[in-house]
Amino acid sequence: MGAYILRRLIFAIPVLFGLTVIVFAIMALIPGDPAVAILGSYATPENVEKLNRDLGLDKPLVQQYVTWVGNMLQGDFGRSYSLNRPVLDEVLERFSATLILAGTALLLCSVLGLIAGIVSAVRQFGWADRVITFAVLIGISTPSFWLGLLLILLFAVTWQLLPASGMYAIYGGGDLPDLLKHLILPAVTLAVVATGVIARLTRAAMLEVLRQDYVRTARAKGLTERQVIYRHAFRAALVAVIPVIGIQAGFVLGGAVYIETVFQWPGIGAMLVKAISTRDLLLVQGGVLVVAASYVLFNLLADVAQHMLDPRLKL
């Protein structure tokens, strides 16, 4: 197992390296440059040239790339033009906020999705199955930013139960209950779609497993229905569901972009959107790299979990 993980981590190096090239090339190719974004209406060719010189962007692209990667290898991700602070500080701070949000959402959607899927499969065509299938359909079809606005309206504006936006209260607060209060609405919003997807897949996987011979054998042995479902069927179904949860982790991180904007959650998705529109090259590059590295890590975790559950897969 250790050797497998190590091998996968080593394979991640060329992936990340390739990413630096792609991200750098994309940022170099999109029209408009940081000086134009900073100067706005005042972007005369003369002013743009002077500002680009001040920003060190007048050097050839290859030289810029080599400088960037070289500095990064020494732990220096550079300074953001639009925020005037070190890129790494900003990215790590933002990414931890995103992890809190996306992690909570992922936990919520995994637990709810699995339970809903199992209940649905076990009670196939029963009323519980119908209600769940209907709810799942609604969940999958609801645009998440719209749901977010609706929840803000109900819980923050009308009933005044939960805060409308932010991660902590503006004065006082700053502790765990405060964070949880701010976390509920965005996490639920973010979890809704993924819950639907996981529920559907769990239902399908469970239905397939429940028709297997060994389930019939387990029942024939006289095990309780509870034992059959949770010890025999569910474990087997989980093998099919785990990679989907791994993929959903990616979608949840991606979906966080809208949700962070709607709820003013100080996460990395909202940061990247703004950094792209202001052509904040170093911030975009640093942010994308960190996110990409975390994708690689999540996929690895999902694979390891799957291998642990399924003895048929050789490491």
Tell me which residues touch another protein (CB under 8 A): 30-33, 35-47, 51, 54-55, 79, 82-85, 90, 93-94, 97, 143, 145-146, 149-150, 152-153, 156-160, 163-168, 170-171, 261-264, 266, 270-271, 274, 277, 279
CA dist., res. 165 & res. 259, Å (int)? 11
Closest approach of another protein to the CB of residue 291, in Å: 17
3-class SS at 79? strand
DSSP structure class, residue 188: H
Instruction: Specify the residue, 124 or 277, whose C-beta has the smaller distance to another protein.
Output: 277
Nearest-CA neighbor of 90 among 228, 237, 247, 274? Answer: 274
Encoded tokens for 242: 């785990």
Closest approach of another protein to the CB of residue 191, in Å: 19
Closest approach of another protein to the CB of residue 165, in Å: 5
Closest approach of another protein to the CB of residue 166, in Å: 6
Question: In angstroms, what is the C-alpha Rg of the chain?
Answer: 24
Amino acid identity at 209: V
Handedness of CA 265, 270, 275, 277 (dihedral sign): negative
Instruction: Specify the residue, 77 or 263, whose C-beta has the smaller distance to another protein.
Output: 263
Contact 98, 279 (CB under 8 A): no
Encoded tokens for 6: 């190590």
User: Nearest 5°: phi and psi at 138?
Assistant: -60, -45
Closest approach of another protein to the CB of residue 39, in Å: 5
CA dist., res. 277 & res. 193, Å (int)? 27
Nearest-CA neighbor of 106 among 240, 259, 290? Answer: 259
Closest approach of another protein to the CB of residue 258, in Å: 8
Closest approach of another protein to the CB of residue 255, in Å: 13
Instruction: Specify the residue, 47 or 133, whose C-beta has the smaller distance to another protein.
Output: 47
Instruction: Specify the residue, 82 or 227, whose C-beta has the smaller distance to another protein.
Output: 82
Instruction: Specify the residue, 74 or 84, whose C-beta has the smaller distance to another protein.
Output: 84
Instruction: Specify the residue, 97 or 109, whose C-beta has the smaller distance to another protein.
Output: 97
Instruction: Specify the residue, 61 or 153, whose C-beta has the smaller distance to another protein.
Output: 153
Closest approach of another protein to the CB of residue 84, in Å: 4
Encoded tokens for 246: 């791994």
Tell the burial category of 163 from Cβ atoms under 10 Å away from its Cβ (0-12, 13-18, 19+). Answer: buried
Instruction: Specify the residue, 85 or 216, whose C-beta has the smaller distance to another protein.
Output: 85
Residue 300's CB is within 10 A of a number of other CB atoms, namely: 17
In order of 113, 122, 189, the CA distances from 140 in angstroms are: 12, 22, 12
